[in-house]
Amino acid sequence: MLKTRIEFIRDFMQKQVEFPAECQSESEALPRGVNHGALTRMFACNRRDLRDLPTMTVDGREAKDLDDAVSLTTDSNAWRHLFVHIADVSHYVRANTALDREAYARGNSYYLGETVLPMLPHRLSDDLCSLNPDTDKLTLTVELIYDADGNFRGGDVYESVIRSDLRAVYTDLYNYFGQGELEDDLAYEKLSAGQLQNMPKKYRQLAPMICLAKKLAAELARRRQQKGSIMFDLPELSFEFNEQHQPVFAGKHEITWANRLIEEFMIAANEFVAAYAQEHEIPIVYRTHGLPEADKFTAFLTLARSLNAKMPRHFNNLTRLQPKDVSRFLELNEEHPAFTTLQTMLLRSQAKAVYQKEPAGHFGLALADYCHFTSPIRRYSDLLTHRALKNYWHNRSNRRLAKHLAETCSYISEQERNAIVMERDVDAMLSAEYMHNFIGANYNAKISGFVQHGLFLSLDNAIEGFLAFKNLADHFVFLPEKMQAVGMRSHTVLRLGESLKVELSAVNLESYLIDFIPLDPYLGKKPVKNKSKKALKKAIIKTKKESSKSASKSTKAKSKAKAKVKFKGAKKAPKQRKLR
């Protein structure tokens, strides 16, 4: 029950908001910054000085833990050098210290509404490790080289020190440099004088690099999609809060080309590090995403066909499934009225991404090898990968790390799942608290799901509620195989993606349930005379029998299909050539 889970989360938050005294002592004992003498010693040990590179971080306006920054330059051959700088958390959080043990116990940071429960104390997450501007910061840098046509030419990963010039914000980049798509052309020469004049000085100084970065990110995105990388576009719920910590706004979290730009660069860095670790036999934490389960995927296909969704050729044959087929399905059905629901159901049919000590491919990204390297402030997996790399570079043994790697991967995968469930539960609680202010308001809502006694509705702000069949004038029966509800008297069919005009009738702040009633219980149909109970019962039995026959046929089809299904993942990528 959600109420019980929310009570658990509140207790969890109270326990996690403070770090153990030993952790606090260790974090306070760390240096206040990077001094000149320490840097001199580090440079002697092959840490590279990249402070002269034009560098920026790009995050949300409220973010405090800035763990990645990017730089981009061109050489005399017009080849682009992309530098992805990641906070060197492992320099400060050493193995088997109190800080390390607590980071492992948490597994990752938790983002629960406006509350952030960081994996590391604020002294590290918001200050010492955070890549704040105009400050020398220790980093691990992935340098990737692309020719003028966007072909990957090689790369390297190494220890570095940077000095960020700009703390950029997603919405600022979007507003200053054009509100189009990532693929839209953006050339510095075409920026108007008005555009340049209206942006702050630091944005203006880095404008040539930002334009170059947008073009490269678009090339990377296009190549990734050509390989079949699956691009789900599901709405994420976002809240704004007042000083009393109450939600005062709810809406869809906006994803712009600025978000996608950074995402493309992080994926490229993660992919390279995974290949580098493979090449050098370094024991790291791999991020793996398996092939869809045959049963779940076949069930999804049954639903998609019942909704008359357009099917790629391989979907119908079910002999070989590739990431490209899933991407093609999404492209074909972008205009489907139930597209959001189809995406949700398709996503649920996919395997869950997990951490493993061996590379097993990433189906969703259509990559042979992949790891998490770019968020060591927020994820223990990334911190451990940094530590393994540095042990290798400094000729220290990775034997102890490798010995416990399988157990560690299993544990942090579980902690990640816990965080996801908690975040969803908190969103449900905040949705109820927010919608409680609008009881009696009218909405145009879309049908997003069914159960035996009613249907779920999704509002434009991505909040969901429930409408019970008993509040409709007709007697509706849910047909699971078709994901429809049929009125026994009027024969009205309710389908996923259809719109209903409703009133918010009740919000329960104990159970966090949101209930709607229809503005028109007859759903636009003229009132009909009530059938006799006997006739209505016959109609219900007939409908259920038809549904049962359909289910039986579907089960037989699934059994036959299961024997045929052979999934094909991404091809093994060739080893990358390393440039130093």
Q: What is the pLDDT along the chain (580 residues), one digit of tens a residue?
A: 788 999 999 999 999 999 999 999 999 999 988 988 888 899 989 999 999 999 999 999 999 999 999 999 999 999 999 999 999 999 999 999 999 999 999 999 999 999 999 999 999 999 999 999 999 999 999 999 999 988 999 999 999 999 999 999 999 999 999 989 999 888 898 898 888 999 999 999 999 999 999 999 999 999 999 999 998 888 889 999 999 999 999 999 889 999 999 999 999 999 999 999 999 999 999 999 998 888 888 888 888 988 889 998 777 665 678 899 999 999 999 999 889 889 998 998 889 999 999 999 999 999 999 999 999 999 999 999 999 999 999 999 999 999 999 999 999 999 999 999 999 999 999 999 999 999 999 999 999 999 999 999 999 999 999 999 999 999 999 998 788 999 999 999 999 999 999 999 999 999 999 999 999 999 987 765 655 556 556 656 665 565 555 555 545 544 544 444 433 444 433 333 333 3
pLDDT reported for residue 524? 86
- Confirm whether 552 is domain-assigned: no
Residue 486, pLDDT score: 95
Residues 384 and 452 in one domain: no
Q: Note the pLDDT of residue 534.
A: 61
User: Where does a domain end: 374, 401, 432?
Assistant: 432
- Give CA–CA dist 266/372, Å, rounded: 9
Residues 448 and 470 in one domain: yes
Which residues are 467's β-sheet partners?
455, 516
Quick one: 363 and 472 in the same domain? no
556 lies in some domain: no
Has residue 244 been placed in a domain? yes
Identify whether residues 251 and 174 lie together within a single domain.
Answer: yes
Whether 370 and 519 map to the same domain: the answer is: no
**HSE-up of 531 (CA within 13 Å, CB side)?**
16
CATH number at residue 486: 2.40.50.140
| Domain end marker among 504, 530, 556 | 530
Same domain, 418 and 452: no
Q: Are residues 164 and 269 in the same domain?
A: yes
Q: What is the SS3 assignment for 18? A: coil
Task: Decide if 110 is inside a domain.
Answer: yes
Is 451 found in the same domain as 425? no
Provide the residue range defining the domain that includes 473: 439-530
Same domain, 506 and 384: no
The pLDDT score that the predictor gives to residue 548 is 57
Please report the pLDDT score of residue 36 as a whole number: 85
Residues 172 and 259 in one domain: yes
C-alpha torsion sign, points 58, 59, 60, 65: negative
Claim to verify: residue 179 and residue 61 sit in the same structural domain: yes
Instruction: Find, among 254, 234, 258, 263, the residue nearest to 181 by Cα.
Output: 258
Q: Domains in the chain: how many in total? A: 2
